[in-house]
Amino acid sequence: MKSMKATLLALSAFLLITSPVSADPVTGDTAYITQAGSNGTVTTDKTETTENPDTITVTQEGSSSCETAEIKLAGNGNHTATVHQSGDHDSAKVSQLGEGDTAEIDQSGGSGNSSTISQGDLSVAGTATITQVGSGNTGDFTQNGVSDIATISQAGSGNGAAISQGDLSVGENATITQVGCGNSGEIFQYGLGDNATISQTAEGNTAKITQESGGDNNKATITQNTGGNGNTASIDQYGNNQTAAIDQRGSSNVADVDQSGTLQQVRITQTGSGNLAMINQH
């Protein structure tokens, strides 16, 4: 009898040790911050050591002006950062270091606003979007990863947009869309298989795409095709099997393409008077 009891106790102990323990579902932190008024400041700084998808949303609403929002998210895990601002002279900054992160800045009204998004060396399949409506706004991206997507949309005049996808980039996509006069858009890519597109409407706009450091199989497209005059478009590519296309509709426009490498393709289309097209392949 004692032997049977000892056997049962040993079996119970074995089952207790080897039975799986149910874990709580992995969830991230969530923060929603709303401010109504002028000269407000919001700063968040979060480092995640596990793969928990954090969500941070900042809304600075109404006719407020001179607002500042800064979000920093570091670590693993599909983080989401969103900033909404609707006044003048607002500033929004988002910094992320992780995989599958999403960043969005919406400055839907006002002038003199600035937006900056940085997704660092660990970024994979990151998505970043800046939307600005008004004049004198600036939008800036920096991405250093694989298969990242960057999009800047601006409506108004005198705006500036810049996207930089750095040395580690592979299969990156960058798009700038600007509606209005006197805008400037620049895209810099330093990787393989990247795709860059700039679309501008109206007059006096400047667009530039640079794909260098010997990256191959890149594609660059600039479209200024709504009949605007005095626009400038330039594409510089360094590598093999590159594709460049510029489409301009209007007068007194300038198109310039410079390619260094082999198996290059260029297409320039201009409709109007007094236009200038230059191609240099070497």
Q: How many residues can be counted in the chain?
A: 282
Residue 11 maps to a domain: no
What's the chain's average pLDDT? 86
Buried b (16+ CB within 10 A) or exposed e, 164-173: bbbebbebbb
What pLDDT is attached to residue 189?
93
Cα three-residue angle 87-188-74, rounded to 5 degrees: 65
* pLDDT tens track for 25-73: 445 688 888 888 788 898 888 776 556 778 999 998 877 789 999 999 8
CB 247 within 8 A of CB 226: no
CB 74 within 8 A of CB 81: no
pLDDT, mean of residues 211-227: 87
Residue 17 maps to a domain: no
Residue 10 maps to a domain: no
What pLDDT is attached to residue 48?
64
Indicate if the pLDDT at residue 1 is higher than 60: no
Residues of the chain with pLDDT > 70, as a percent, come to 86
The residue segments making up the domain with residue 50 are 29-281
CB 76 within 8 A of CB 51: yes
* pLDDT tens track for 82-130: 999 999 999 999 998 878 899 999 998 889 999 999 987 666 778 999 9
Phi-psi region of 194 (alpha: psi -120 to 50; beta: other; left: phi over 0): beta
Contacts of 250 (CB under 8 A, 6+ apart): 203, 224, 226, 227, 228, 229, 230, 231, 271, 272
CB 143 within 8 A of CB 122: no
Residue 100 maps to a domain: yes
Beta-bridge partner residues of 43: 70
Q: Name the residue among 149, 144, 137, 140 with its Cα closest to residue 119.
A: 144
pLDDT, mean of residues 232-237: 97
Whole-model pTM? 0.88
Q: Reduced to 3 states, what is the DSSP secondary structure of residue 168?
A: coil
How many domains is the chain built from? Answer: 1
d(CA 119, CA 99): 9
Residue 20 maps to a domain: no
What pLDDT is attached to residue 27?
58
CB 207 within 8 A of CB 182: no
What pLDDT is attached to residue 228?
86
d(CA 77, CA 169): 20
Identity of residue 187: I
Residue 1 maps to a domain: no
CB 107 within 8 A of CB 90: yes
Residue 6 maps to a domain: no
What pLDDT is attached to residue 207?
98
Indicate if the pLDDT at residue 12 is higher than 80: no
Residue 8 maps to a domain: no
